[in-house]
Structure 1
């Protein structure tokens, strides 16, 4: 059942319910659903575990169905959370259909939700804005981007921008629907250490989380 169909900033966006679960479809391509969420939780947990700071300042790139945000606000080491989501409708859905999956956290005082393109927002942010942890899940991964523009996040210039916004000792985690050897090598050439975490899913290849530490 289609619950909402909108023309978003990156094309058609559909929220539908199938067998009691919610799915988000972008330009006819399946993007995510509420069936599991384990790898999205690992995205946040593994990245926070990789840093020593407490009161972690955490950035989530891509709100999605909300699993990453729910994990972030439940982690006692996380202090502040900023979510950057480019689609206004996705944010609005967390006031209704998807609220339970983000733990109702979109309205929390400790959570700032920004409707913007992630890379554009980072470029324009104040010079003194840094994050201890960045958890990035804006599409299906470096080799399967939802839109061509998203590929910039995984390239040299995108990684350079992310590093420029990391606090000392910080970590960046990337979600991917499949492993990417080329991207893993690119991370290894830019960061002090890179950890690859595979998360089994009921069907198909494992989801992959890359955790890259600046030092």
Structure 2
């Protein structure tokens, strides 16, 4: 169902679908596209600095290796994918997205303006799958994992997402990395507790980069390395 608002002051619903994990909505408000999941605001196209930094910070943290591979967890509005595809140093780019609606919004919908070039890049592959299920089952190893699944490890979109940040979930992330590989996790706020969880899961070089926002607590990129 599409609603309209000629003034642009009220949000306009462009698509609403019921998926396997609840309702997902794409809407437009004051020229921006927004993704809402189960009534929870996830992201919009207003900025994207921290989503792009997620990918850049992971690449900068890698040791000097040629054509590293990256798995991006969550397609979202596409800023992380666009950043990865704009960087020629990445050799292989994969994106795991479990919501068919989000994929459609990028392939044939309004969000294609952000990611059409990235999706056409021969290095890019789009995986319609749950991220944690993919990490546990595929056996593929990546040089970097860039996760932007939730609003943070302590603010998940669905309850089952919490498993990704548990000891078992972080262990699966670690196993999916090459030696010296980097895990980067986007969060709406820094978390010392999550840093401790990363260390307890066997990661080294754990640190957090903060990204200032217009108002409120800074966004955060949690970084950790598989050292052995």
What TM-score do the two structures reach when normalised by structure 1? 0.96
1:104 to partner: Cα distance: 2.9
2: CA distance between counterparts of 1:10 and 1:36? 27
Q: Answer yes or no: is 1:47 the counterpart of 2:47.
A: no
> Unaligned stretches of 5+ in structure 1?
none
Partner in structure 1 of residue 162 of structure 2: 151
Partner in structure 1 of residue 153 of structure 2: 142
What does residue range 68-147 of structure 1 map to in structure 2 within 5 Å?
A: 68-95=80-107, 96-125=109-138, 127=139, 129-147=140-158
Q: Answer yes or no: is 1:171 the counterpart of 2:182.
A: yes
Tell me which stretches of 4 or more aligned residues in structure 1 moved more than 4 Å.
none
Partner SS state of residue 47, structure 2:
coil
What TM-score do the two structures reach when normalised by structure 2? 0.90
The structure having more radius of gyration, on CA atoms, is 2
Partner in structure 2 of residue 35 of structure 1: 46
> Unaligned stretches of 5+ in structure 2?
1-11
Q: Answer yes or no: is 1:67 the counterpart of 2:79.
A: yes
Deviations 1:159-205 (A, max 9, x none): 11111111111000000011122111111332121120000111221
Which structure's relative contact order is higher, taking Cα pairs within 8 Å and 6+ residues apart?
A: 1
2: CA distance between counterparts of 1:188 and 1:122? 19
Partner in structure 2 of residue 9 of structure 1: 20
Partner SS state of residue 203, structure 1:
coil
Aligned pairs, how many? 213
1: CA distance between counterparts of 2:114 and 2:214? 19
Deviations 1:87-108 (A, max 9, x none): 0110110122011222532233
Partner in structure 2 of residue 56 of structure 1: 68
8 Å contact from structure 2 (residues 82, 114) kept in 1: yes
8 Å contact from structure 2 (residues 21, 158) kept in 1: yes
